[in-house]
Amino acid sequence: MVHLYDRELAAWAAMLPPIDHSDPETACEQVRQAHYQQPLRSVPEDLWIAEVDVPGPAGAPAVPVRVYAPVRPADPWAFSPAVLYFHGGGFVTGGLETGHDECVWTATTLGAVVVNVGYRLAPQHPYPQALMDAHAALYWLSAQGESLGIDPNRIAVAGEDAGAGIAAALCLLARERTGVRPCFQLLAGPLLDDRLATPSAGQFTDTPVLDRIQAANMWFHYMGAAAGGPDVSPYAAPARAQDLTGLPPAHVSVYDIDPARDEGIAYAQRLIQAGVPTELHHYPGTFHGCASIPGAEIAQRMREDRVSALHRALCTPGLPPAPVHEPPVPDAPALS
């Protein structure tokens, strides 16, 4: 099938085959090679970066996170907003390095503390372990607010690809629990629906980075034989949620030539219908994950749109406080 890519993305599309999620080791190697071929964003001198092991869920290992904090003059009253970021990789690949450039860009442009979460990966660690790690990181970030200089009422969650799916699931989980609740969710190219029944999932079988076959492999690694079946938890695939009321405001962006396009659009529409303030962006001529491509004008615009949405959500005076209590760390049975 001939796809009408953005003129600056066409050459990249020809060079980027789908990530082979049928074999997790092969997929990880493909992602590593792609990462090495991209120029890294320089880190400003006034950006403090540290790696921390966050206490994990009960009986689970610690969760590695990387904290990006802009250095600013000491002011006991100047608390920053924070962004909890979840990298992409189809639940199977990626890590702290995958989201590094995005976190540097967001922290320096927004002037916020960004925490990049190294959640556990499938198939060695299938659902719900990534979500449990995400919840543990959210609790830790809120509890560490004073030492990190952040306002616990202004914590957004953000993610790309599978990370966006985890961010959406975390918002669903936080809604049902007494505890920390994100005030905003930014979902970029989100993977939300294991059923793969949308028009775009059926149409795009030969697309760069992600196609329908690899999407099916990805969901299988994450959920096993349950993927696509009738008994899937909305905490695993947020599109399964029946009720989206009471969720935090959202910014949802989708790539055009992408099997995940329509599930993102449908989720944004359902958020709007549920009364959740939601902004939806569809970028013509783009393919899955291309926001990280250097030099492309449309990729730059996508990144700027994301930071602008976070700025409106987190840096607007008079935000209502979100309830902050000590939440229980979820266990596997609670997420079924």
Confidence of residue 309 (pLDDT cuts 50, 70, 90): very high
| Structure tokens given for 165 | 């799916």
Least confident of 68-72, 141-145, 194-198, 284-288: 68-72
pLDDT at 195: 98
Contact call for residues 105 and 42 (beta carbons, < 8 A): no
Looking at residue 333, its pLDDT comes to 41
Q: How confident is the model at residue 20 (pLDDT cuts 50, 70, 90)?
A: confident
- Residue with the bigger pLDDT between 157 and 19: it is 157
Q: Which of 96-100, 111-115, 145-149, 217-221 comes out lowest in average pLDDT?
A: 145-149
Please give the CATH number for the structural domain made up of 10-335.
3.40.50.1820
pLDDT band at residue 160 under the 50/70/90 scheme = very high
Q: What value does the mean pLDDT of the chain take? A: 89
Least confident of 103-117, 145-159, 293-307: 145-159
Q: Is the pTM of this model over 0.75?
A: yes
Q: What is the mean pLDDT of residues 214-223?
A: 96
- Domain parsing of the chain, residue ranges: 10-335
Residue 229 pLDDT > 80? yes
The per-residue pLDDT for 40 is 59
Tens of pLDDT, residue by residue over 285-301, are: 999 999 999 899 999 99
Strand order in the sheet with 80-86: 47-54, 63-70, 113-117, 80-86, 150-160, 184-188, 250-257, 278-287
| 330 confidence band (pLDDT: 50, 70, 90) | very low
- The single residue listed with the structure tokens 């615009």 is 301
83-87, 89-93, 147-151, 324-328 — which is least confidently predicted? Answer: 324-328
- Residue 21 has a pLDDT of 72
Of 161-170, 226-235, 273-282, 319-328, the least confident: 319-328
Distances, alpha carbon 191 to alpha carbons 62, 113, 253, 259, in Å:
25, 25, 11, 10
> What span, in angstroms and rounded, lies between the C-alpha atoms of 47 and 86?
20
- Bridge partners (DSSP) of residue 50 are 67
Question: Which whole number is the average pLDDT over 75-85?
Answer: 79
